[in-house]
Structure 1
Amino acid sequence: MPAPRRKAETTDTATADDRQPVSLGLLDNLLGYRLRRAQLSVFQDFLIVMKDFDLRPAQFSVLAIIAANPGLKQSRVSEALGINRANFVALLDELEQRKLARRAPAPGDRRSNALFLTPKGEGFLKDAYRHLVVQHEKRVETVLGSADKQQLLGLLEKLTALA
């Protein structure tokens, strides 16, 4: 007969101290840290809202840029979004496999690709945008308020001058 098993030790030893907020220390007043945390929060909400569309923020951004600039060279889209070339190629491959975007030879430059949305991609982007605005952007605006959202957009635009 096997020996009786001892009760496994639990690792749940949370004390009142463990439930206290963690001090951010030097991070508390660092803009970059706060921006990154805000970005993570906004992206997490985006992913939840876009789950049914199987759409990540970078994919949405690529589709939006292509829609606004049909025929733009692949390198220009990548540059506009700050996505490195290798990552952009993989991202675009996914969008092509899903038949949302397509590459075509760029006029006057056979070494470059011009990008276009497919008809399926155009409809997909419209539906995704409508869904995103109705849910995600409204939640963000509920947290910030309309005036603060507009002010934040302006301030963030100013910060892009650092790069």
Structure 2
Amino acid sequence: MPESTIDYGYLENDLGYVLRRAQLWVFQDLIRTMSPVDLRPAQYSVLVIIHHNPGLSQISLASALGIERARLVRLLDQLEDRKLVERRPAASDRRSHAMHLTLEGERTLASARELATAHRQACLEEFGGQNNYTTLVRLLAKFGAPQ
């Protein structure tokens, strides 16, 4: 049965279903857009957070991104293998690691940021312009926001 003839019933107005479809579109576009720098959405997010918070602990980084520590360790291993991030002993607790971008990490992030601008433009077009995009981001930002 062609997808265009499928009756989605009440799923068409189900927040979870609609959010998931939007997330799939956004991630697929971001993955395609970031392919020149070979970054996945989670890797890009890690670089952005570390860039804006140099010295952040791995635990704080995992918490900020809402991901499990074990998954973060794998992400950091991948980024460290590419020489984009480095773990340094934290000044306050040498058992923990402070996260920093390397010079190559900063360069890659600068390139990725330019690509992210193109991705944002695609989102603006897909979601019906600046006003709709801004409203959507503002509404969704309430989920999981610090209380």
Structure 1 residue 26: Cα displacement? 3.2
| Structure 2 residue corresponding to 1:48, chosen from 32, 48, 70 | 32
Larger Rg: 1
CA pair 101-76 structure 1, distance change in 2 beyond 3 A:
same
SS in 1 for 2:95: strand
Following the alignment from structure 2 to structure 1, what is the Cα–Cα distance between the partners of residues 19 and 33?
Answer: 21
Following the alignment from structure 1 to structure 2, what is the Cα–Cα distance between the partners of residues 64 and 161?
Answer: 18
Following the alignment from structure 1 to structure 2, what is the Cα–Cα distance between the partners of residues 45 and 61?
Answer: 15
Following the alignment from structure 2 to structure 1, what is the Cα–Cα distance between the partners of residues 135 and 37?
Answer: 30
* Dislocated runs of 4+, deviation >6 Å: none
Equivalent pairs counted in the alignment come to 145
Identity %: 48
In the TM superposition, 1:26-105 aligns within 5 A as: 26-105=10-89
Unaligned stretches of 5+ residues in structure 1: 1-17
Instruction: Give the CA RMSD over aligned residues.
Output: 1.6
Structure 1 residue 161: Cα displacement? 4.8
The question of whether the paired residues in 1 share the 8 Å contact of 2:59 and 2:69 is answered with yes
Following the alignment from structure 1 to structure 2, what is the Cα–Cα distance between the partners of residues 116 and 146?
Answer: 33
CA pair 161-131 structure 1, distance change in 2 beyond 3 A:
closer
- Give the equivalent residue in structure 2 for 1:132: 116
| Structure 2 residue corresponding to 1:158, chosen from 123, 138, 142 | 142
**What TM-score, normalized by structure 2, do the two folds share?**
0.93
Following the alignment from structure 1 to structure 2, what is the Cα–Cα distance between the partners of residues 60 and 161?
Answer: 20
Unaligned stretches of 5+ residues in structure 2: none
